[in-house]
Amino acid sequence: MAAMPDAARPDSTYQAGQTPAGPVLVPGRTCWRIEKADRVAVIIDAAAYFARIKAAILHARHTVMLIGWDFDTRIKLEPDAPMPGVPNELGDFLSWIVRVRPELTINVLKWDLAVLKMPFRGRTPLVLLDWMSSRRLRFRLDSAHPPGACHHQKIAIIDDALAFCGGIDMTTDRWDTPDHRDGDPRRVRPSGEPYGPFHDVTTAVDGEAARALGDLARERWRRATGEELAPPPPTEAYWPEDLKPDFRDIPVAIARTDPMTDQPQGGAREIEALYLAAVASARDFIYLESQYFASQRIVGAIAARLTEPDGPEVVVVNPERTPGWVEEEAMGSARSLLVQRLRAQDPHGRFRILSPVTEGGEGIYVHAKVLVVDDRLLRVGSSNINNRSQGLDTECDLAIEVAQGERPEVCRAIRSVRTRLMAEHLGVGVEEVERTEEETGSLTAMVDRLMRPVGRSLRPLEPEPLNETERKLVDERLLDPDRPEPMAETILRGATVFGDVNRTAWRIGAGVAAGAAVGVGLALLARRNGLGKNFRGE
């Protein structure tokens, strides 16, 4: 099947050789709403996030809403220095806080097919059954999405006064520090099995921006459960004492991907429009962190900029590999093919795609979703550089933009966030990143100079060779669609792709079909037994 026609996609005014005038962030087009935040902080890696959200929930006065792709009740929020007298595992902590704070209500909403993991999580199903009987700690599954889509937003709202939004799930294999130490004994699953180093990013916001995220979360809850939740009464914002704001008194844009909203393009695709407008607006550089690099439309926009004589430099930070073989076939193959094509359109050598490693050379898994353009636009959220994040899954990103020549202190703050991230990946101090960038006058030259062949650093990523079936999978977007489509259409496209049946095709097709069948079956079973709308007798 042909790619979706441009007429059905968010409009981009960008033409090759032109940098569009005007702001990137436009409500109703590249974002949903723009609301003011008194404070914004960028939180790097889950150790910092888990500790801050635990403190925030301890200070909650009315409501907590947790909206996520996955939750694992067994994770330790503070593995090395837990608060005395306060439970440290997520499930025990939430159950305890509603017992000792009778005025508090906690609502947890999780993607329904993530229930597939629950039988393998020890006593997690028992904890969730206990939550089902609670009036003030309520757990629901979100099935309000098209077939094949997932609920991918990661949002936490405390009293509509403080909100967290980004890429970090409150689940296993996430906790790590910016040191990403080899063999860190705190980096261990509830089963006792160690996992590898993991990099991620989220944000904390207050003010009207937090209230707007509360509105978004309540709408998701209504759609998933049919229940209307009232906003909490106005509450003075709690801000974690040890969390230094990166920005103050700043407009914050909220951008969504949501195929279920009533939009002319078939759902909200503000995030895709934001990516395209941001790429088109770049004058000097584009810095990207993403779990994947597989969106044909976004990579195509980047390629067009690289062909320009005076176009921007582009630095992409990705993990070396994805964790599962199906993901690797889908996202890894797409990255390989798109990087090959992109490099063929980079005559000026301004593109780098890199992967971080530890001091001992182990790959650090990049789960962060960050975009920085010219140190005047910053975006952090849940959306990846893949097709499904642009039109099929539900996503939520936050963005800050500075108009040309205005608020230089905000540009300095964006630069500080970016250089902190780059220093972490390169294994050097922030001052060395800033000094080298000033000396070279170039983002790519700075990276080239500071990269090391051994030790903690970034390493160049080279695309893997692909066979013809893998190329067809990428071009047809069969495993990474960007819009909902009927199951029959998917099957027909799969039959076309796998017309010359080979071992790879059968392996991928059988794996996808089996996983989908088991996942759907368990999700339906969960809903029937009271985890979704049926719990309310509907």
Secondary structure (DSSP) of 324-386 = SHHHIIIIIHHHHHHHHHHHHT-TT--EEEEEEE-TTSPBPEE---EEEETTTEEEEES--BS
User: Three-state DSSP class for 213?
Assistant: helix
Question: Residue 46 pLDDT more than 70?
Answer: yes
30 assigned to some structural domain: no
Residues 6+ apart with CB under 8 A from 238: 56, 59, 60, 158, 159, 161, 162
- What is the DSSP-derived secondary structure letter of residue 112? G
470 assigned to some structural domain: no
- Identify whether residues 62 and 189 lie together within a single domain: yes
Q: What is the pLDDT of residue 18?
A: 52
Confidence of residue 264 (pLDDT cuts 50, 70, 90): low
512 assigned to some structural domain: yes
**Span 411-428, mean pLDDT?**
98
Handedness of CA 469, 475, 481, 486 (dihedral sign): negative
Domain boundary among 443, 460, 477: 460
Question: Residue 13 pLDDT more than 90?
Answer: no
* β-bridge mates for residue 287, sequence order: 315, 372
- Identify whether residues 434 and 300 lie together within a single domain: yes
Least confident of 64-68, 195-199, 459-463: 459-463
- Identify whether residues 357 and 279 lie together within a single domain: yes
Kind and range of the H or E element at 109?
A: strand 105-111
- Identify whether residues 130 and 181 lie together within a single domain: yes
Q: What is the pLDDT of residue 530?
A: 44
**Number of domains composing the chain:** 3
Q: What is the pLDDT of residue 468?
A: 76
- Identify whether residues 224 and 275 lie together within a single domain: no
Contact call for residues 39 and 236 (beta carbons, < 8 A): no
- The per-residue pLDDT for range 438-496, each reduced to its tens digit, is 999 999 999 999 999 999 999 999 988 877 777 777 766 667 787 886 544 554 444 45
Question: Residue 518 pLDDT more than 80?
Answer: no
Q: The domain containing residue 190 runs over which residues?
A: 39-242
> What's the Cα-to-Cα distance from 302 to each of 25, 279, 413, 449, rounded to whole Å?
19, 6, 25, 24
Q: What is the pLDDT of residue 511?
A: 46
> How many residues belong to the chain?
538
Q: What share of the chain is helix, strand, coil (3-state, %, to 5)?
A: 40, 20, 40
Least confident of 111-125, 215-229, 318-332: 111-125
- What is the DSSP-derived secondary structure letter of residue 492? H
Please tell me the pTM assigned to this model. Answer: 0.87
500 assigned to some structural domain: yes
- Identify whether residues 219 and 339 lie together within a single domain: no
Confidence of residue 322 (pLDDT cuts 50, 70, 90): confident
- Identify whether residues 530 and 448 lie together within a single domain: no
Share of the chain above pLDDT 70, in %: 79
Joined together, the tokens standing for residue 452 give: 């090391």
Strand blocks (E) in 151-200 = 155-158, 162-166, 198-199
- Identify whether residues 107 and 52 lie together within a single domain: yes
Domain boundary among 189, 220, 242: 242
Q: Which is higher by pLDDT, 144 or 114?
A: 144
- Identify whether residues 513 and 391 lie together within a single domain: no
**Span 70-97, mean pLDDT?**
94
Question: Residue 325 pLDDT more than 70?
Answer: no
**Span 131-159, mean pLDDT?**
84
Least confident of 97-106, 431-440, 524-533: 524-533
Q: Which is higher by pLDDT, 68 or 326?
A: 68
- Identify whether residues 185 and 273 lie together within a single domain: no
Q: What is the pLDDT of residue 525?
A: 45
CB atoms within 10 A of CB 284: 15
- Identify whether residues 63 and 190 lie together within a single domain: yes
**Span 394-411, mean pLDDT?**
94
14 assigned to some structural domain: no
Cα–Cα dist 462/480, whole Å:
21
Q: Which is higher by pLDDT, 306 or 498?
A: 306
Mean pLDDT of the chain: 85
- The per-residue pLDDT for range 288-298, each reduced to its tens digit, is 999 999 999 99
Q: Is 460 left (phi over 0), alpha (psi -120 to 50) or beta?
A: beta
| Range among 109-118, 414-423, 506-515 rated most confident | 414-423
15 assigned to some structural domain: no
- Residue 169 identity: D
258 assigned to some structural domain: yes
Question: Residue 20 pLDDT more than 80?
Answer: no
Confidence of residue 198 (pLDDT cuts 50, 70, 90): very high
Contact call for residues 41 and 246 (beta carbons, < 8 A): yes
**Domain harbouring 67, CATH code:** 3.30.870.10
220 assigned to some structural domain: yes
Contact call for residues 332 and 290 (beta carbons, < 8 A): no
**Span 208-220, mean pLDDT?**
97
Domain boundary among 198, 225, 242: 242
**Span 380-393, mean pLDDT?**
95
- Identify whether residues 440 and 414 lie together within a single domain: yes
